[in-house]
Structure 1
Amino acid sequence: MILIMYTCFYIKMNNKFELSSEYALAKILSVKHYTNTLFSFKTIKPNKLKFKSGEFIMIGLIIRGELVFRAYSICSPTWSNTLEFYSIKVPNGLFTTFLQKITTDSSIIVKTKSTGTLVLEALKPGKRLFLLCTGTGVAPFISIIFDPETYIKYDEIIVVLTCRCSQELQYFNDKIKQMTKEPHIRPYAKNKLRFYLSITQELYPYTGRITWLIKTGTIIADLMTYNFDKMDRFMICGSQQMILDVTDLLKSLGYIEGAINNPQDFVYEKAYVS
């Protein structure tokens, strides 16, 4: 049995923990395992939690008597009454070894203050928004493509997701199917949302890593769209090396990194890059 409770400042009285006001207990509502290494889970959304699309929060567990927590991007849209997260199962990983065993009888602790650099306010106005991601790096972009504001700000939103095998695309495909049935977002996304799914380790209609797809012009040709220009904006999330490679490439093409206090052409999630 896993005890799942966390607080930065806690008092133990009569074998119970009291949470400080900046944390909340969130009951697990559902868990879905997609592959041997990927799963998602939903929790109740604490009333005091407010977040922007693309942000992350800290979620915590008590593991072998120690307080352990990690940053997890929120997949849910801001208007949802639940929180959703998408996780990899790290082999022998301290945190995910326990996290992957949660059930609807479990709860986690969430910090009710969100943060992150993948927010629309950090980008200058533009026409196309490219969401470039690998693996579970798609998580914050699920929140973003379920946000009506995204479609108000941009003429076209293009998700570019690269995974190792086609089975790892199931979570994203499930979210797209959900979108087609969701009246909150379906009218906004219609005729504006596009996606390009690429695989690196098996045969698939589209193959190749994101940097190669951009450098060779393959992605532009496959999408049958116009070349990158000064009105394109980019968000990047994935492995540390992927983020470094893609941001270096964008800089070489003349794009400038942005921030909330200095909106520019692209942003990436700095929490996942040491």
Structure 2
Amino acid sequence: MLYCNKKMNNKFDLSNEYVLVRILSVRHYTNTLFSFKTIRPNRLKFKPGESVMIGLIIRGELMFRSFSICSPAWSNTLEFYSTRVTNGIFTTFLQKMTTDTSIIIDMRSKGSLLLKALKPGKRLFLFCTGTGIAPFISIIHDHETYIRFNEVIVVLTYRYSQDLQYFNTKIKQMTKEVYIRPYARNKLRFYPSITREPYPYTGRIAWLIKSGTLIADLMTYSLNEMDRFMVCGSKQMVFNVTNLLKSLKYVEGTTNNPQDFVYEKAYR
């Protein structure tokens, strides 16, 4: 059974940088996609777009994996979005969680998808596939995102339309958030593309950019030097999109050297 006892034996003694937290809720969207919420430790501070390491004791072994935080930085709970990886022991056990379960969280948040790694601009494109939407849920719930950019466009690609359930749920919830709704109004746009069944928008992100289809469908002006980008998703998508951005003369940024785009290097 998946469970982390509060009285762990000496084999799993951890420093104060780790904390045991209780699962508050679990929601399943498909056979493999699910989200879960936990109590937020008082000492945990994070910026939108960052991730933390989550630990489980599985068959007597302590295992950790990195997960992006979906929650807004102002939330008093933590939310995560995951998929069960084929033959992946960690996510197989994670998917079986209940509210009787506790998990370990590393309090040291980190990540490369930070607004301060981008130069000032006019439009912010958030490119993602699969559970790569997770850090962007936190980012679009942050008022600073809309202070810094005139328009925020979420471009997400999935294989099947049913995979959009989590995203659609979060957007419906967002419309009721008094704290963020006034900032996002008239600034936040979505472009969901499905690749393996009929849908209004189809195609992979790199092709959508290169072919001009994305700009045409959005009925907006072409990419220019004031556009900024964040990329998170499958390794192949990140590779293709970041190489395409480089070919278009956009430059990768860091917090010490803000530029045009960033991507999540720790995504699994």
Give 1:2 shift. Answer: 1.7
Give 1:109 shift. Answer: 0.5
Q: Secondary structure at the match of 1:272?
A: coil
In structure 2, C-alpha distance between the alignment counterparts of 1:168 and 1:191, rounded to whole Å: 26
Residue number in structure 2 paired with 1:244? 239
Q: Does residue 27 of structure 2 align to residue 12 of structure 1?
A: no
In structure 1, C-alpha distance between the alignment counterparts of 2:237 and 2:259, rounded to whole Å: 20
In structure 1, C-alpha distance between the alignment counterparts of 2:197 and 2:178, rounded to whole Å: 36
Once the two structures are superposed, residues 56-95 of structure 1 have per-residue CA deviations (whole angstroms, 9 ceiling, x without a partner) of 0000001111110100000000000000000011122110
Give 1:271 shift. Answer: 1.1
**TM-score, with length taken from structure 1:** 0.95
Within a 5 Å distance, the mapping from 1:4-83 to structure 2 comes to: 4=4, 12=9, 18-83=13-78
Residue number in structure 1 paired with 2:206? 211
Match for 2:118 among 119, 123, 126?
123
Residue number in structure 2 paired with 1:166? 161
User: Do the aligned partners of residues 17 and 250 (structure 1) sit closer, same or farther apart at CA in structure 2, a change above 3 Å counting?
Assistant: closer
User: Do the aligned partners of residues 247 and 17 (structure 1) sit closer, same or farther apart at CA in structure 2, a change above 3 Å counting?
Assistant: closer
Q: Does residue 266 of structure 2 align to residue 258 of structure 1?
A: no
Contact 1:5 1:60 (8 Å CA) reproduced: no
Question: For residue 259 of structure 1, what is the amino acid of its counterpart?
Answer: T
Match for 1:85 among 72, 80, 85?
80
In structure 1, C-alpha distance between the alignment counterparts of 2:88 and 2:3, rounded to whole Å: 17
Contact 2:19 2:104 (8 Å CA) reproduced: yes
In structure 1, C-alpha distance between the alignment counterparts of 2:267 and 2:141, rounded to whole Å: 22
Residue number in structure 1 paired with 2:225? 230
In structure 2, C-alpha distance between the alignment counterparts of 1:180 and 1:256, rounded to whole Å: 34
Q: Secondary structure at the match of 2:266?
A: helix
In structure 2, C-alpha distance between the alignment counterparts of 1:27 and 1:127, rounded to whole Å: 41
Q: Secondary structure at the match of 2:241?
A: helix
In structure 2, C-alpha distance between the alignment counterparts of 1:111 and 1:257, rounded to whole Å: 28
In structure 1, C-alpha distance between the alignment counterparts of 2:64 and 2:8, rounded to whole Å: 18
Q: Secondary structure at the match of 2:246?
A: helix
User: Do the aligned partners of residues 217 and 5 (structure 1) sit closer, same or farther apart at CA in structure 2, a change above 3 Å counting?
Assistant: farther
Give 1:5 shift. Answer: 6.0
Question: For residue 78 of structure 2, what is the amino acid of its counterpart?
Answer: L
Contact 2:23 2:100 (8 Å CA) reproduced: yes
In structure 2, C-alpha distance between the alignment counterparts of 1:165 and 1:220, rounded to whole Å: 22
In structure 1, C-alpha distance between the alignment counterparts of 2:67 and 2:250, rounded to whole Å: 27
Once the two structures are superposed, residues 4-47 of structure 1 have per-residue CA deviations (whole angstroms, 9 ceiling, x without a partner) of 369xxx9736xx96542101111101100000110000000000
Q: Does residue 14 of structure 2 align to residue 2 of structure 1?
A: no
User: Do the aligned partners of residues 204 and 5 (structure 1) sit closer, same or farther apart at CA in structure 2, a change above 3 Å counting?
Assistant: farther
CA RMSD of aligned residues (A): 1.5
Contact 1:122 1:264 (8 Å CA) reproduced: yes
Give 1:135 shift. Answer: 0.7
Identity %: 72
Question: For residue 170 of structure 2, what is the amino acid of its counterpart?
Answer: K
Contact 2:193 2:202 (8 Å CA) reproduced: yes
Residue number in structure 2 paired with 1:114? 109
User: Do the aligned partners of residues 128 and 135 (structure 1) sit closer, same or farther apart at CA in structure 2, a change above 3 Å counting?
Assistant: same
Question: For residue 3 of structure 2, what is the amino acid of its counterpart?
Answer: L
Question: For residue 214 of structure 2, what is the amino acid of its counterpart?
Answer: I
In structure 1, C-alpha distance between the alignment counterparts of 2:5 and 2:260, rounded to whole Å: 40
Q: Secondary structure at the match of 2:249?
A: coil
| Gaps in structure 2 of 5+ consecutive residues | none
Aligned residues: 268
Residue number in structure 2 paired with 1:136? 131
Contact 1:5 1:61 (8 Å CA) reproduced: no
